[in-house]
A = this chain, B = another copy of it.
Amino acid sequence: MPRSDAPPGPVRQGSLREWNLAVVLGRIAAADRPPSRAELAARTGLTRATVSAVVEDLLAGGLVREAEPTPRTGAGRPSRGLVLAADGPAGLGLEVNVDYLAACVVDLAGRVRHHSVLRADLRPVSPAEAVARLADLAAHARAEAAREGLTLAGAALAVPGLVDDAGLVRLAPNLGWRDVPVPALLAGHPPLTAHVDGVPPLVVDNEANLAALGELHAGPAVPASFLHVSGEVGIGAGIVLDGSLFRGARGWSGEIGHVPVRPDGRPCRCGARGCLETYAGQEAILAAAGLAGADLPADTATTRLAELAGAGDPAALHALADAGTALGVAVAGVVNLLDLDTVVLGGGYAPLAPWLRPPVLAEVSRRVLTAAWSPVTVRPAALGGAAAAVGGAGSVVRRILARPAGWLTRQP
């Protein structure tokens, strides 16, 4: 029988160079101190000659700079360290959420160079109007980036809902959006980014997915594979495998909110019973803690809940323990299935992590078979607030690092 996967692309002559550009650039990005050409040659297995040629291209394209202060060490001609350019291409991350808009710019090295948040209740606003405001915010971010010598090479927009490949927002229940063609709505505005070969000008993706990717930018100790659970009104999971997001067959992976945790339990708005969301969703937790009627904005309510729990309020503590247990049951299933070793509590769960973590950990270690061999880490997300915007911007940058040839060919 034939293999059912689509055959990979051909390799033309030039693909060789393209690939080695990515190999060398990737090494420079992954190194903990500026590597020399000779070091790169040793580590990649390429000849010094080849590395020199490749680096020349990268320097000419402005993706890499020579680090001026050369660290003196031992005898021999001093090496010239190479670093990612701080003024080359950058990624633009955008986010539309229920009560804020956000934009941020991340440079090649993964540093957040600009970040702005505009608080506003977007539920009463029409999608077209929301997108228009977002375009303004993006224009501002673009100006800021230009002022620092950065060129925006692509943008990623995070939306709290289901998105299809074409960028159509199929359903964003908490925003009240349905079949909103975001790219088309943006068409009237000035383009967000420069055109770069192989990097789509705008990618629209689920907020939970991009927030998970954001975690990759949080620090050097981030593992390559982890589960990122973010609790908002719904509960989304981002599955990061080997440094990139697992999207599923149709791009709708990560719907952990409707994993059954008590099959005959509370009815859920999805029509089934006992979904995780009915036990560990924001509304459920707040209701259990007695904060239901307050009708506060989502993040304020969460802050309030954390305060109550910190002060030892029994209802709050109980609500969080219950939610944590339910979450732990669902997470244990995922970890058993995918054999992950790290679980990150993000989004609305991050500030509540001190209280959610113990019950989650308890359920996980009780239910995960391989926990005996190697323990599962459960920790709060390192990035706060608009992690999805950072993750989106980072995904653009990562795409350039993975395929630098696209950027090089478009340089004047």
Report A's interface with B, CB cutoff 8 A.
Answer: 1-13, 15-16, 19-20, 22-23, 26-27, 29-32, 44-46, 109-111, 162, 170, 216-220, 222-225, 237, 239, 242-244, 246-256, 258-263, 270-272, 275, 325, 329-330, 332-334, 336-341, 366-370, 373-374, 398, 401
A102 to chain B, nearest CB (A): 19
Output the nearest chain B residue to A31 by Cβ-Cβ distance.
B2
Contacts of A162 in B (CB 8 A): 370
**How many copies of this chain are found per oligomer?**
2
List, sorted by A's number, 14 A–B pairs whose CB atoms are closer than 8 Å.
A1-B111, A2-B220, A3-B26, A3-B29, A4-B223, A5-B242, A7-B23, A7-B27, A11-B19, A246-B338, A248-B338, A254-B337, A258-B369, A262-B262
A105 to chain B, nearest CB (A): 15
CA of A258 to CA of B250 in the docked complex: distance in angstroms? 27
Output the nearest chain B residue to A336 by Cβ-Cβ distance.
B255
CA of A204 to CA of B337 in the docked complex: distance in angstroms? 20
A371 to chain B, nearest CB (A): 10
Report yes or no: A239 in contact with B3, Cβ–Cβ below 8 A.
no
Contacts of A374 in B (CB 8 A): 250
Report yes or no: A339 in contact with B1, Cβ–Cβ below 8 A.
no
Report yes or no: A23 in contact with B2, Cβ–Cβ below 8 A.
no
Report yes or no: A369 in contact with B255, Cβ–Cβ below 8 A.
yes
Report yes or no: A339 in contact with B249, Cβ–Cβ below 8 A.
yes
Report yes or no: A3 in contact with B19, Cβ–Cβ below 8 A.
no
Report yes or no: B30 in contact with A7, Cβ–Cβ below 8 A.
yes
A9 to chain B, nearest CB (A): 7
Nearest first, the 6 closest Cβ-Cβ pairs linking A and B are: A248-B339, A5-B243, A1-B110, A7-B26, A259-B333, A253-B339
Query: Other than the known A10-B46, A162-B370, what 8 A-B pairs have Cβ atoms closer than 8 Å?
Result: A1-B109, A3-B243, A10-B44, A11-B23, A249-B340, A250-B341, A255-B369, A330-B333
Output the nearest chain B residue to A5 by Cβ-Cβ distance.
B243
A344 to chain B, nearest CB (A): 13
A10 to chain B, nearest CB (A): 4
Report yes or no: A336 in contact with B258, Cβ–Cβ below 8 A.
yes
If the complex has contacts A16-B16, A20-B10, A45-B9, are A32 and B336 also in contact, measured as CB distance less than 8 A?
Answer: no
Instruction: Choose among B3, B19, B170, B216 the residue that contacts A401 (Cβ–Cβ < 8 A).
Output: B3
If the complex has contacts A329-B260, A338-B253, are A2 and B16 also in contact, measured as CB distance less than 8 A?
Answer: no
Report yes or no: B369 in contact with A259, Cβ–Cβ below 8 A.
no
CA of A243 to CA of B2 in the docked complex: distance in angstroms? 11
If the complex has contacts A225-B249, A339-B253, are A258 and B367 also in contact, measured as CB distance less than 8 A?
Answer: yes
Contacts of A111 in B (CB 8 A): 1
Report yes or no: A337 in contact with B10, Cβ–Cβ below 8 A.
no
CA of A116 to CA of B109 in the docked complex: distance in angstroms? 57
